[in-house]
Amino acid sequence: MQALIDAYIAIRDFLELGGPVLRMIGVVILVMWILILERLIFFRTGLRALRKEAFDAWESRSERKSWHAHQIRTAMISKVSEAANAGLPMIQTLVALCPLMGLLGTVTGMIAVFEVMAVSGTGNPRSMASGVSMATIPTMAGMVGALSGVFLVTVLSRTAKRSVQKLEDGMTMDH
């Protein structure tokens, strides 16, 4: 129990050092990771079932060579592709937002430093250090969030593309 309390205190102190922008970055990263986890779970469960359903529906067709059959095949593949790629643009947007919010934290932290310098000159290094930490910590948090998101959104995009390509290759038009 003490370890949880210590962890909570450390996280609280870290959030206070970074200022209000760090909290916003934390929310963006949390939402991004929730969406990433949802996509990973969907790829393991729902997408497999959707692909199997489309493949079975295609295999149960007796006629597969006509223009009409080709349009049905295209619609089935499109439905699976749409489901596989759902949510990926939102994740990409959140990934792009992380470093921008880090930059916002840098600017607000430097404004705090300049305010301290305007009021007390350079004679108060402790107050200036607080503004510098408010400038650097959000920048670091934004970059860490963006890096983790870039890697995973690339993995998710490739997985979606590969899954749709497998379905497309499996749905032959040879009957």
> Which domain, by its residues, includes 125?
22-170
Which pLDDT value is given to residue 38? 94
Domain-embedded: residue 67 = yes
pLDDT value at residue 34:
95
Contacts of 88 (CB under 8 A, 6+ apart): 39, 153, 156, 157, 160
Instruction: Give how many domains the chain has, as a whole number.
Output: 1
Within-domain flag for 38: yes
Task: Look over the chain and give the mean of its residue pLDDT values, rounded to a whole number.
Answer: 86
Average the pLDDT over 84-108 and give the result.
91
In this predicted structure, the answer to whether residue 17 has a pLDDT above a threshold of 70 is yes
pLDDT value at 175 more than 60: no
Q: Is the pLDDT of residue 132 over 80?
A: no
User: Quick one: what percent of the chain has pLDDT higher than 90?
Assistant: 34
Indicate whether 105 belongs to any domain: yes
Task: Identify the pLDDT of residue 173.
Answer: 65
- Rounded Cα–Cα distance for residues 76 and 71 (Å): 9
pLDDT at 174: 63
**Domain-located, residue 16:** no
pLDDT for residue 66: 84
Q: Collect contacts of 38-44 with beta carbons under 8 A, ≥24 apart.
A: 38/87, 39/87, 39/88, 39/91, 39/156, 40/156, 42/83, 43/84, 43/156, 43/159, 43/160, 43/163
Note the pTM of the prediction, 2 decimals.
0.79
Give a yes or no: residue 151 inside a domain.
yes
